Amino acid sequence: MEQQAELQQLESFLVQYEQGTLPSVNWLDNLVFSRIRDARSMQLRIAQATDDFFQLLVELPVYVRPVIFRERREDVEPLEIHSWQRLTWLVDDEVNLMLENPAERKHQKLSRSVGRGVIDMELKPDGAEKRRLSAIIQLPPTRPLDMESQNLLWKFRFAISHDPRALTKFLKCVDWSDPAETQASVQLMREWAPIGPAAALELLTPTFSNSEVRRYAVSILRQAENEDLLLYLLQLVQALRYETADDNELAKFLVERAVANEVVGNYLYWYVLVQRTPPPAERSMSAFRMFERASRAKDTRGRSVWETLKFQRELMEKITIITQEVNTLRGARKVERLRAILSSDNTLGAVLTSFPQAIPNPLNPTVLTTGILASESNVFKSALSPLKLAFQTLTGDSATMIFKKGDDLRQDQLCVQMISLMDKLLKRENLDLKLTSYRVLATGNDTGLIEFVKSQGLADILKEHEKLTTYIALHNPDPHGPNGCTMTSMMNFVKSCAGYSVITYLLGVGDRHLDNLMLASDGRLFHIDFGFIMGRDPKISPPSMKLCKEMVEAMGEYFSEFKTYCCEAYNILRKSESVVLLLNLFSLMADANIPDININQDYEKALLRFESKFALELDDEAAMQHFISEIHRSSNAFLDPIFERAHRVAQYLR
């Protein structure tokens, strides 16, 4: 026991010595070290003789330089910290100076030698590598690829060339500054399994600047029908800004389609024209000139179509002047002045009420209009006093649209496009949620047209009828139906509520109140005014979707069906091909001056927020539970009724 106590005391002194709290005396140090070795040997022999033997050896690192941190002990004097001047600083160039590691770079170049192509063609991934490749291929287009993933894709590029989903990932790992690697990659790209339009859109983003890659993307888009092309024509016009030459393949393709199809030509004209407004996009200006030359060179019909497009532009300029004049007046005098201008016999009135020739409706070019009906036109009571204009059609009907001056409608235009696209994706899966796909067309930085849909705001309905079902039953009566409504109108309401709940959740639509939720007479609900998206909202802690108690009460016993429709729609839009398409469309809008996408030049964060709404890490069952929890949180939002009352007070004071 005495020997064990002595050893423990010596070990304690040794710890203090190593920590620098005991002074070093050479002759005494040697004696103590010798005594410690003897004591340890004696203790070991005793333990072995009594079968009570257990030994743990721990090797601790020895530092040549001073260590400036140690565990504090109460019974030990504080260790003096060595001065910073005596420390040796080592700088890691890779981390601190953001420099490339030459060893890694050399390894990458050797492993990617084009001369290895014959060998790489025979390489097959093992089980673990297959799982890793599958995970990489399934990543959304917004995720960057690390060096390990890029090397793995390159190594097995031939083995995965049968998978169309892998092409965009492979092209991201190519070193385009290496001519030999570029040539080999372009050749393999042409032999790859054909991709679809969604992946082709990614190849037109600024990530890919190689002209051959962009030409390949256009060749894929050439296979699309005009109906599908119109769904992402807005983004294709934005992609022109990333081309490196005026005479590029994308511009040629768009102009060819526009000259051949007047509907495509109408929208291309306005999309490109808006891009030409300050600050102008150089490639868009050259595409506009190319479009004009091609239209005039086609034939008499081509020249006539171009002249009608020019007349549309002149018409918008005249209506802008009228709006500015009307806004100088107050109250009912605005409507009187608008109708007086349209009914006058002067040059302006004559041109507006009777066009020189029938022109396509800018919002819907399939409808030809002949003039503006003064008696049916009006001015809305709001801060910007938008005009409600009724256009006489060639068939004798009227097409009503709203002209706004003072608002940038490009964000609304994008949101309405996304709603129409998602509606089409849902209908492809046989899910019709009765969405109202009205049209919006920006005609300038602060002017634009909105299709008028006959409806009434929920705020006005509740003020007049107290319950939404009373309004629906008034237009769709059925004494034996739910709440006195027909079953069709009730299901229109439930389905449309579900559709817009999912879509506004994904788009992060904010500033939702009962004045920008509209209800049509057949029970379909829809949203307007998309001034806040991607999670932005002027309110504090807003719900993720607008689901007020009046809407829940109107659904009544069908609230469970509402949740079922929501979950079904959410999982359809979470499918890989849908997510890729939607993310790529938003990626192409990075430089489109959409306020809430590139706010504070933080576009990448906005895109990641959009991606996070799809909860891609969850399976379908978990995603359903996730969305149901969002529904319950939104329907029970504590602050939402308070903000709703504050909004009504603000509207009253205005």
58 lies in some domain: yes
Query: Is pLDDT at 558 greater than 60 in this prediction?
Result: yes
Contact between residue 607 and residue 142 where contact means Cβ atoms under 8 Å apart: yes
DSSP string, 556-589: GGGHHHHHHHHHHHHHHHTSHHHHHHHHHHHHTT
Q: What does the pLDDT average to over 605-615? A: 90
What does the pLDDT read at residue 100? 61
Q: Is residue 172 within 8 Å of residue 207, measured between CB atoms? A: yes
Most confident of 55-64, 172-181, 419-428: 419-428
Regarding whether 279 and 243 lie in a shared domain, the answer is: yes
Task: Assess whether 495 and 636 both reside in one domain.
Answer: yes
pLDDT band at 350 (very low <50, low <70, confident <90, very high): confident
Q: Which of 460, 469, 435, 653 shows the shortest CA–CA distance to 551?
A: 469
Token pair for 267: 């929208």
Which of 305, 338, 370 is the endpoint of a domain?
305
**CA pair distance 641, 644, nearest whole angstrom:** 5
pLDDT digits (tens, 9 = 90+) for 183-239: 999 999 999 999 999 999 999 999 999 999 999 999 999 999 999 999 999 999 999
Residue 104 domain-assigned (yes or no): no
pLDDT, mean over the chain: 87
- The confidence band for 113, taking pLDDT boundaries of 50, 70 and 90, is low
Query: Do 399 and 464 belong to one domain?
Result: no
Residues 281 and 343 in one domain: no
Task: Report the CATH number that the domain containing residue 631 is assigned in CATH.
Answer: 1.10.1070.11
Q: Please check whether residue 119 lies inside any domain of the structure.
A: no
Q: Residue 105: inside a domain, yes or no?
A: no
Whether residue 519 is found in the same domain as residue 539: yes
Query: Given a cut of 70, is residue 90 above it in pLDDT?
Result: no
CATH at 145: 1.25.40.70
Residue 150 lies in a domain: yes
Give yes or no for a contact between 507 and 586, defined as CB atoms under 8 angstroms apart. no
**Residue 387 is assigned to a structural domain of this protein:** yes
For 432, the 3-state DSSP assignment is: coil
Secondary structure class of 265 (helix, strand, coil)? helix
The model's pTM: 0.81
List phi, psi (to 5°) of 50.
-100, 10
Same domain, yes or no, for 267 and 397? Answer: no
- 298 and 320 part of one domain: no
Which amino acid is residue 330, in one-letter code? R
Measure the CA–CA gap between 505 and 503, rounded to whole angstroms.
5
> Where is the domain boundary, 390, 406, 422?
406
Based on the fold, state whether residues 39 and 151 are members of the same structural domain: no
Does residue 97 lie in a domain region?
A: no
Q: Where are the alpha helices (DSSP H) in 79-162?
A: 93-96, 102-111, 117-120, 127-137, 147-155
Given this model, what pLDDT does residue 590 score? Answer: 85
Same domain, 513 and 475: yes
Q: Indicate the Cα dihedral angle 68, 72, 77, 80, nearest 10°.
A: 10
Bridge partners of 503, per DSSP, are none
Query: In this structure, is residue 172 part of a structural domain?
Result: yes
Contact by Cβ (8 Å): 462, 514? yes
Residues 152 and 274 in one domain: yes
Last-in-domain residue among 259, 277, 305: 305
| Structural domain span for residue 49 | 2-86
Listed range (55-59, 348-352, 572-576) with the worst mean pLDDT: 55-59
Instruction: Report residue 318's pLDDT band, with 50, 70 and 90 as the boundaries.
Output: very high
Beta strands 447-451 and 456-457: pairing type?
Answer: unpaired
What is the number of structural domains in the chain?
4
The token pair at 146 is 């690390």
What pLDDT is attached to residue 51? 61
Same structural domain, 386 and 353: yes
pLDDT one-digit tens code per residue, 15-46: 777 666 777 777 677 777 777 777 777 777 77
Are residues 364 and 376 both part of a single domain? yes
368-383, pLDDT tens digit by residue? Answer: 999 999 999 999 987 7
Peptide bond into 279 cis (omega under 30): yes
